[in-house]
Copies of this chain bind each other. A is one copy, B any other.
Amino acid sequence: MKKVKIALLGLGNVGRGVYIILHQNKEEIMKRSGYEIEISKILVRDLNKNRGVEVPEDILTTDFEEILNDDSIKLVVEVMGGIEPAREYMLRAMEAKKHIVTANKMLLATEGDEVFEKAEEMGVMFQYEASVAGGIPIINGINENLTANKVNELYGIVNGTTNYILSKMELEQLDFDSVLQEAKEKGYAEADPTSDIEGYDAQYKLAILASLAFGTKVDINDVYREGITKIKPIDMKYASDFGMSIKLLAIAKDDNGRIELRVHPTMIPETHPLANVYDSFNAIFINGNAVGDLMFYGRGAGDLPTGSAVVSDIISILRKNIEVENQNPIIRNNLWEKQVKNIDEVESRYYIRVTVEDKPGVLGQITTIFGSNRVSLKSVIQKGRKNDESHEVALVLITHKTKEALINDSIEKLYDLRTVKDIENIIRIEDFN
């Protein structure tokens, strides 16, 4: 059996998963990769931290140079996350002709070009399956298995924290704040949950997925982003009345070379496969012009699921001939220039919930505004007063498909009406057709 030495950069959640899998499934991994894999060094910040796994002390180091200068280490696994020093370490490891496996979505979504180009320049292999949707093989799915297709559309539930929160809100009729609190206590949400609940995490992931699916470079700033904090139990209730679920979707569409990139809460039909993705599970639904509809579903986070993706990347590299210098791997498929649509140009149906004065003629005023903006309403629901003293009622409008700019125009005019007390929420509706 051939032997190979590898190093880990980082021993947090994902690093622990990689360490456990390489030991627990050692026999399977040896047979499938053709190599006995030795983790010869692990870079950590604190040698004495408890990491929930037994690691021999002598392989821990706080000094990256020890790994860099060890020519017997052929492959470096970056699982520290964040931009720096991960970026610097990867670049220098590649310059030293070491192959790279990384789980770093933030780096790839923002500074991906530089590391991809370095890999190509140095002829080293560079794999990053774990950077999006944890254990779900969506990166290789797109890069290797959908190559016969033009991808038309991609819809992802790619953030487990928000899907957990929305699932709880839907199934147990709870409000956002209390579910977030519970998620924090259970470890499903971080102490500072901003990156998850405001959609930044999904934004990174969509940038990576869309760039692969459409074969184009994606600037993270071109991805429109909205979080889930504005979703109220009453919106869940209305959604359910309409036969819909609310999910935080990462959406990418290719409209004849002009692409849409957006992350926002979305009402989807409850019969759609994505509507049945609950708890912290992730799923990516793709439509290709040959394959039709395809969905990948699984664990988007966690030490072992994410570790599964990292280790399969390691095995994938070892199965190629790593003894040959100057590999010529296909690392990216950035083949086309595509123009990104502004969110104003996006077409969708919309759910609009407003609070209005309970007076005759109000409904007429409102529908007139939408009509004059060429927004066609599919249904209008007026609910009774909250109580006898209240002079306000809730109005829920569902539009037909229309340009977002026209919705925004209409909303602005609604605010001018004295009878309109508040625009409570606007949620895009996706019909998948």
A321 to chain B, nearest CB (A): 9
Closest residue of chain B to A329 (Cβ to Cβ) is B319
**With contact pairs A148-B29, A149-B28 given, residues A292 and B298 touching in the complex (Cβ less than 8 Å):** yes
CA distance A146 to B25 in the complex (A): 12
A356 interface residue per 8 A CB criterion = no
Could you list 5 further interchain pairs (A-B, Cβ under 8 angstroms) beyond the known A24-B289, A31-B335, A144-B316?
A32-B215, A141-B145, A148-B314, A281-B293, A296-B297
A33 interface residue per 8 A CB criterion = yes
B299 and A298 contact, CB distance less than 8 A: no
Q: Which residues of B contact A335 (CB under 8 A)?
A: 31-32
Q: Which residues of B contact A81 (CB under 8 A)?
A: none
CA distance A295 to B141 in the complex (A): 13
A150 to chain B, nearest CB (A): 6
A298 and B291 contact, CB distance less than 8 A: yes
A145 and B312 contact, CB distance less than 8 A: yes
A221 to chain B, nearest CB (A): 26
Q: Which residues of B contact A307 (CB under 8 A)?
A: 148, 290
* Copies of this polypeptide in the complex: 2
**With contact pairs A140-B145, A148-B312 given, residues A292 and B304 touching in the complex (Cβ less than 8 Å):** yes
B276 and A290 contact, CB distance less than 8 A: no
Q: What 7 pairs between A and B have smallest CB-CB spacing?
A: A148-B311, A137-B145, A290-B308, A135-B291, A294-B298, A291-B308, A295-B297
B305 and A292 contact, CB distance less than 8 A: yes
**With contact pairs A145-B137, A145-B312 given, residues A297 and B294 touching in the complex (Cβ less than 8 Å):** yes
A270 to chain B, nearest CB (A): 10
A227 to chain B, nearest CB (A): 26
Closest residue of chain B to A293 (Cβ to Cβ) is B298
Q: Which of B146, B294, B308, B314 contacts A288 (CB 8 A)?
A: B308
Q: Which residues of B contact A315 (CB under 8 A)?
A: 147-148
**With contact pairs A297-B295, A304-B291 given, residues A140 and B144 touching in the complex (Cβ less than 8 Å):** yes
A148 and B308 contact, CB distance less than 8 A: yes
From A21, A273, A293, residue with most partner B Cβ within 10 Å? A273
A34 to chain B, nearest CB (A): 8
B297 and A273 contact, CB distance less than 8 A: yes
A229 interface residue per 8 A CB criterion = no
Mask: chain A, 95-133; 1 = CB below 8 Å from B; 0 = not = 000000000000000000000000000000000010000
Q: Which residues of B contact A277 (CB under 8 A)?
A: 273
A156 interface residue per 8 A CB criterion = no
A308 and B21 contact, CB distance less than 8 A: no
B311 and A290 contact, CB distance less than 8 A: yes
A317 to chain B, nearest CB (A): 11
A17 interface residue per 8 A CB criterion = yes
Q: Which of B146, B304, B308 contacts A146 (CB 8 A)?
A: B308
Q: Which residues of B contact A319 (CB under 8 A)?
A: 330
CA distance A156 to B303 in the complex (A): 26
Closest residue of chain B to A315 (Cβ to Cβ) is B147
CA distance A78 to B31 in the complex (A): 30
Chain A stretch 336-385: residues in CB contact (< 8 A) with chain B: none
A194 interface residue per 8 A CB criterion = no
Q: Which residues of B contact A29 (CB under 8 A)?
A: 147-148
Q: Which of B31, B148, B276, B305 contacts A291 (CB 8 A)?
A: B305
A316 and B147 contact, CB distance less than 8 A: yes
**With contact pairs A276-B276, A319-B330 given, residues A147 and B292 touching in the complex (Cβ less than 8 Å):** no
A396 interface residue per 8 A CB criterion = no
A333 to chain B, nearest CB (A): 6
A12 interface residue per 8 A CB criterion = no
Q: Which residues of B contact A311 (CB under 8 A)?
A: 147-148, 290
CB<8 Å pairs between A and B, sample of 20: A17-B290, A24-B289, A25-B290, A28-B149, A31-B333, A32-B333, A135-B291, A137-B145, A144-B144, A144-B316, A147-B312, A148-B308, A148-B311, A273-B297, A293-B299, A294-B296, A295-B298, A296-B297, A297-B297, A319-B330
